[in-house]
Structure 1
Amino acid sequence: MENRKPAHPDALPFCVDLDGTLIRTDLTFESLLSVLKRAPWTLFLLPLWLLRGKSHLKHQLATRAHLDTTVLPYNPAVVELTRAARAAGRTTVLVTGSHEQLAQRIAEDLSLFDQVLATQAGTNLIGSNKARRLDEVFGQGNYEYVANAHVDLAVWRSAAAAVTVNAPRRVVRQVVAMGKPHKDLPASGNPLRVWLRAIRIQQWVKNSLLFIPILTAHEVLNLEAVVDGLIAFVCFGVCASATYIVNDLLDLDADRHHHKKKNRPFAAGTLSVQWGIASVVGLMLTSLLLALALPLGFQLSLLGYLVTTLLYSLWLKRVASLDVLVLAGLYTLRIIAGGFATGIALSFWLLAFSMFIFLSLALVKRVAELVEVRKRETVAKATLGKLRGREYDTEDIPVLQSLGTSSGYLAVLVLALYIHSTEVFELYRRPEILWFIAPLLLLWVTRLWVVTARGYMDEDPIFYAVKDPETWATAMAVVLIMLAATFWPL
């Protein structure tokens, strides 16, 4: 190793780490997710690749992954520092443990680096390996190093100056103790708020469908059923959060091309892929353990929900028509699970109504996405093609609208038939009063589809309905009608 005379601090080569520093993610894990999404069976090859060394594993993943490096979550502060260093005439170097194939692509995309040092066959360029390589190229103590992790301490010890980016406090303290020129770029934002966004806590409202059997069977005063319903609610919430994270991890590329979804925590890099994978395991185990307190039927329903949502994330959502049927089925499955959890038998009418109304809502979701694509086509005066990650085109909007409105109206027809069934007389003293619900639901379904056609619909109709005052007014009117039908004197 050659010891060279240190250059002036403002003239030192500016060496920038990639994973977690220049980009708010880790390319090895992103490559892994990309490969598993396209070929899940490669999971069984990972141990064999790893036995030949981490550099070989990274090579295999890099050559198989399909990553769009232009939309990676770059850290603007680090990009600006690098740009300023290059403008000052300093040598800028991208030095990373990621595979050289990916590192070269990023360097070409940014046009900010004079040199790229990355993992190659037989050399995993992290920690002490990276320090030795930089010492060989520039001389010990003759470069500035920008990075973020504990493994980078070995490099900072050999560097003349340090920049820490989103680094843990203990790492920053160790770098400060080295007594070298140091600049810190701390992480911003509230971690709790970021995690609540990642698990989509607001989406737990969908799990209130688990209480539908209690309400329709008039068992709201049954304390045991209500407690079991609450446990089931938490089980489904935790499990659903795990599947949302799985979906986000598998949809990183598609989300980063989306005008809204690009701000999701994993797509934006505010949460790491590693933490996402760990949280999925923890949430799923928590959900399954809680489910042991409930009947076997509920446990099987939860397992069916988990398997179906994972298949949906991996494959089913890209199959046109089947995807909306699966979404409608997952909504209905919550009601079925609620029946198993509380021990309340479900009627044919409830299940038929649920399937049709939720199919309508699933189609609303797809049409809303396509309407947004069509609006952006109009603004850009260009054809954007299919909905990214889905097998739909804007030309499909009319037929999907027809199917969706028909399904919504069929749900109202099922309700009308239910009012004349024998089962209704066991629950209501004046079932004819229930007829007032039919026009209310017809009005609500019609308005929902008009709002969607005009482009005002959020992409999740359930979440839109929760925020919509007219939906709340309709729901309150329905409850009052049901109470009147139950207690009105004969």
Structure 2
Amino acid sequence: MKAIRLLRPAQWLKNGFVIAPLIFSRSFVSPSAVAHSLAAFIIFCGAASAGYIINDIFDREADRAHPVKRLRRPIASGEVSVRAAVTIVTILIPILLAAAWFVAPKFLLAVALYLALTTAYSMQLKTMPIIDLFAIACGFVLRVWGGAVAIDVVLSVFMFITTLSLALYLAATKRRQELLSTSTASDFRSVLQHYSVKLMDDYSEIAVVATFVFYGLYIATVRPQLAATVPVVLYGVFRYRYLIELSHDESPTDRMVRDPQMIVCAILWAAISVSVLYLAS
């Protein structure tokens, strides 16, 4: 149970971005592509868990001083030793890289870059204002690219920019909630000294507008059938913004992955996308 908590399985839903290329490229009609995409998803779940463990190792002292994380993080709480965590990562990463190679050589590169990015984030990037937001966002872009190379398809540049913009929106709202979570938030995450709630609201507004602009450009130039998904996407963004207002003491993304309406929204988006693209193929 302690090891499972260390892996943070609740966060694996974020790796759904790996599946996106399977849908957008209409490759879901190919059993081989579906198998490769699912394998890529599982491997990225493992890579994300490795990244979380590495982050928890570096953050253990700050987490022990945090009123919530000192209870929830296994390393900070003393449930899992640093030595045990290092052992898990040392075993997990080679297995993930070997599995990624069998999926596709380029997919191995995507996983390796993701692991390098998450390690750099844990060591230094998370302390650098603005760069920390882009580092988080690039992790999502690598998920999408990894999902694309795993099934050997090429996606429009608009899809990658849409992903970057959406991830920046999620990152900015996450920082916003961290600022609101406690009056001494900057004591636990130094980069927050450079941010304010208003600045994060401004960043999130810019990012969400960019998301819709580039998603619209993708639909208009590549997949006009996906116009049917726009109402669902709008509802999802509205619902997420509503959840932010309710999430003063927890990460909005954590609340999002547990929210029934957001789950239904994601399923509905996927169902509509697959249906209209299948009928158009």
- Normalized against structure 2, the TM-score is what? 0.90
User: What CA deviation, in whole Å up to 9, does each residue of 1:140-195 have, x standing for no partner?
Assistant: xxxxxxxxxxxxxxxxxxxxxxxxxxxxxxxxxxxxxxxxxxxxxxxxxxxxx111
Give the alignment's Cα RMSD to 1 decimal.
2.2
Indicate the residue corresponding to 1:451 in structure 2. 243
Q: In the alignment, residue 333 of structure 1 is paired with which amino acid?
A: L
8 Å CA contact retained: 1:368, 1:453: no
Q: In the alignment, residue 467 of structure 1 is paired with which amino acid?
A: R
Relative distance call for 1:300 and 1:460 in structure 2 (3 A) is farther
Is the deviation greater in 391-400 or in 356-365?
Answer: 391-400
* In structure 2, distance between residues paired with 1:457 and 1:476: 27
Indicate the residue corresponding to 2:132 in structure 1. 323
Indicate the residue corresponding to 2:55 in structure 1. 247
| % identical aligned pairs | 26
C-alpha displacement of 1:481:
3.9
SS of the counterpart of 2:18? helix
Indicate the residue corresponding to 1:207 in structure 2. 15
Relative distance call for 1:451 and 1:272 in structure 2 (3 A) is same
Q: In the alignment, residue 266 of structure 2 is paired with which amino acid?
A: A
8 Å CA contact retained: 1:370, 1:394: no
Is 1:368 aligned to residue 160 of structure 2?
Answer: no
8 Å CA contact retained: 2:243, 2:252: no
Indicate the residue corresponding to 1:293 in structure 2. 102
- Structure number with the higher helix fraction is 2
* In structure 1, distance between residues paired with 2:45 and 2:208: 26
Indicate the residue corresponding to 2:31 in structure 1. 223
Could you list the runs of 5+ residues in structure 1 that have no partner in the other structure? 1-192, 378-383, 426-430
* In structure 1, distance between residues paired with 2:92 and 2:57: 15
8 Å CA contact retained: 1:210, 1:232: yes
Q: In the alignment, residue 201 of structure 1 is paired with which amino acid?
A: P
* In structure 1, distance between residues paired with 2:75 and 2:2: 10
* In structure 2, distance between residues paired with 1:249 and 1:309: 13
C-alpha displacement of 1:436:
4.4
List structure 1 runs of 4+ shifted beyond 6 angstroms.
none
C-alpha displacement of 1:345:
1.3
User: What CA deviation, in whole Å up to 9, does each residue of 1:295-316 have, x standing for no partner?
Assistant: 2211111111111111100000
* In structure 2, distance between residues paired with 1:267 and 1:235: 26
Q: In the alignment, residue 367 of structure 1 is paired with which amino acid?
A: R
8 Å CA contact retained: 1:243, 1:309: yes
8 Å CA contact retained: 1:370, 1:397: yes
User: What CA deviation, in whole Å up to 9, does each residue of 1:443-464 have, x standing for no partner?
Assistant: 4323323432443573151x43
C-alpha displacement of 1:385:
6.2
* In structure 2, distance between residues paired with 1:337 and 1:298: 5
Relative distance call for 1:246 and 1:487 in structure 2 (3 A) is closer
Q: In the alignment, residue 239 of structure 2 is paired with which amino acid?
A: R
8 Å CA contact retained: 1:213, 1:346: yes
Relative distance call for 1:457 and 1:351 in structure 2 (3 A) is farther
- Normalized against structure 1, the TM-score is what? 0.53
Indicate the residue corresponding to 1:37 in structure 2. none
Relative distance call for 1:479 and 1:200 in structure 2 (3 A) is closer
* In structure 2, distance between residues paired with 1:483 and 1:385: 42
* In structure 1, distance between residues paired with 2:38 and 2:215: 27
C-alpha displacement of 1:483:
5.2
Relative distance call for 1:291 and 1:460 in structure 2 (3 A) is farther
* In structure 2, distance between residues paired with 1:226 and 1:386: 44
Indicate the residue corresponding to 2:205 in structure 1. 405
C-alpha displacement of 1:484:
5.7
Number of residue pairs the alignment of both structures matches:
279
Q: In the alignment, residue 213 of structure 1 is paired with which amino acid?
A: P
* In structure 2, distance between residues paired with 1:329 and 1:337: 12
